[in-house]
Structure 1
Amino acid sequence: MDIAIITGGSKGIGRALVNHYVSEKYKVFSLSRSHEKFDDFTQVSVDLTDISTAEHIFEDVLDQIKELDVTSLTLINNAGRLGDIKHLENLRPEDISKSFQLNVTSAFVLSSLFIEFGKAYSCSKKILNISSGAASSAYAGWSVYCASKAAIDMLTSTIAIEQKNKENPVHSFGIRPGVVDTEMQTQIRSTDAEDFENVDKFKELKKNDQLYKPEFVAQRIFDILNSDQMKSGETIDLRE
């Protein structure tokens, strides 16, 4: 049985990924704050900014997987937040902390647990980190988001280096999906130009119908991740 664990699976790219992996006959565990119940995948309600609780809930998911006949394991660290769009001196400490907890700390912790769990399996094991062009391009008002995505890119690279000489390695990959028509884009377009001077650029992208659909992104991610197009440790941009 092919297993996929997807964080932030209740909306946007995450929900599209859940739907696509289900359509590909994967056993899917979706981790998000949603309390909805579904017949075709397992929805696990968790606040990934509460790291201690998230750790225990993720361990429960892994315990469920132990009971299955596993043929492949995939963890997709997709959950993320833009946080307040403001210059650094105007950001609230609690908002900075929450963004790093979700965007960075949860991905580190879940990846660590996934790698340890995967030692018992000789099947294909992959970690995919959803990155962003903001990891390498600084935007005024996005200091936390840019920094957190840069950290995620380094996580992808470091896992690959640490795993390359293991007997049954976990392969790690990063994908920057481009500008996707999600709630995050709605938040960006509603920001005051004083806080985000590039807001008109994003409004133009929406106006000119230049946003990717989440479903298109999910299919591209699946196809790339299940081909030989990427090397472990690599992060690619879907727009290139």
Structure 2
Amino acid sequence: MRYVFITGTSRGLGNALLEMFQEDRIISISRGRVETEYPLYKEFNVDFLDEKKLESTVDEIFGSIEPEPGDEVFLINNAGVVDPVKSVESIDAEGFLNNYKVNVLAPALFMKGFVNQFKDLRGAKRILTVSSGAALNPTEGWAAYCSSKAAVNMVSDVLRLEMDRLDYPIFTATFRPGVIDTDMQSDIRSSEENEFPDVERFKKYKETNKLYNKKTVAYVLKRVITSDNFAFSESFSISDFL
């Protein structure tokens, strides 16, 4: 039996992942109810901006299943936001904080909850966090996004080191999905050029069909997290597969 916890399933890549894992027991975690034709084993609606509520719900989420020895349990940290798209001098404290709550704090709390619940389970236990090339490449207007993705990468890398001492290790990695044709990209293309100078480049991605289809990315992500090689790398990129 395979259990798959997926965050950010209401739209975009997260929603496409529901189709990819439809034969497994999916535990959906999102802010709102998810519209899907595929069966969900369990569904949790949590506001990632409410860190106290989120922290109090994490144990309930991971305690909602009772895997047997030999079962597989996966966590896909997919939920993320790009806003605020502004220069550093224009971002207020709330803008930084809200971005970090979704992009760093929430996945970190999910990793913590996953480890506490399943560290003694005999079976494949894997955490894959959706990252971004922005974690490696500074981009004007994306101070919050770039820094938050870099931060969550490091959380994943540190956890990977800490898991080495377990009798039944939990393997963690990050995945850079490339530029996907989702609502997030639509939001990026609507940015003001004075705040996001690269906006024309992203518009050209759309005009020249350079965006990845979300189902294609979901397929690759599934290949990554189910691969026998997952345990041997801390980072994967869609460019390694396409």
The aligned counterpart of 2:202 is: 202
| Native 8 Å contact 2:51 2:106 kept in 1 | yes
The aligned counterpart of 1:30 is: 28
| Native 8 Å contact 1:103 1:149 kept in 2 | yes
Aligned pairs, how many? 237
- The alignment status of 1:11 with 2:11, answered yes or no, reads yes
- Counterpart mapping for 1:157-196 below 5 A: 157-196=157-196
Residue identity in the other structure for 2:7: T
The aligned counterpart of 1:118 is: 118
Q: Shift of residue 141 of structure 1? A: 0.4
For 1:45 and 1:228, locate their aligned partners in 2 and report how far apart those are by CA, in whole Å.
Answer: 32
The aligned counterpart of 1:44 is: 44
Seen in structure 2, the aligned counterparts of structure 1 residues 157 and 36 have a Cα distance that, compared at 3 Å, is closer
| Native 8 Å contact 2:85 2:141 kept in 1 | yes
For 1:35 and 1:9, locate their aligned partners in 2 and report how far apart those are by CA, in whole Å.
Answer: 9
Return the TM-score normalized by structure 2.
0.93
Task: Name structure 1 gaps, 5 residues minimum.
Answer: none
Seen in structure 2, the aligned counterparts of structure 1 residues 232 and 172 have a Cα distance that, compared at 3 Å, is farther
Q: Shift of residue 219 of structure 1? A: 0.6
* Large movers: runs of 4+ above 4 Å: 36-39
For 1:109 and 1:233, locate their aligned partners in 2 and report how far apart those are by CA, in whole Å.
Answer: 22
Task: Name structure 2 gaps, 5 residues minimum.
Answer: none
Q: Shift of residue 114 of structure 1? A: 0.6
| Native 8 Å contact 1:157 1:233 kept in 2 | no
The aligned counterpart of 2:95 is: 95
Listed one character per residue, the Cα deviations across residues 124-148 of structure 1 (whole Å, up to 9, x for unaligned) are 1001010000000000100010000
Q: Which shows bigger deviation, 155-164 or 225-234?
A: 225-234
For 1:157 and 1:63, locate their aligned partners in 2 and report how far apart those are by CA, in whole Å.
Answer: 25
Q: Using the aligned pairs only, state the percent identity.
A: 30
Return the TM-score normalized by structure 1.
0.94
For 2:143 and 2:195, locate their aligned partners in 1 and report how far apart those are by CA, in whole Å.
Answer: 12
For 1:119 and 1:234, locate their aligned partners in 2 and report how far apart those are by CA, in whole Å.
Answer: 19
Two-structure CA RMSD over aligned residues (Å): 1.6
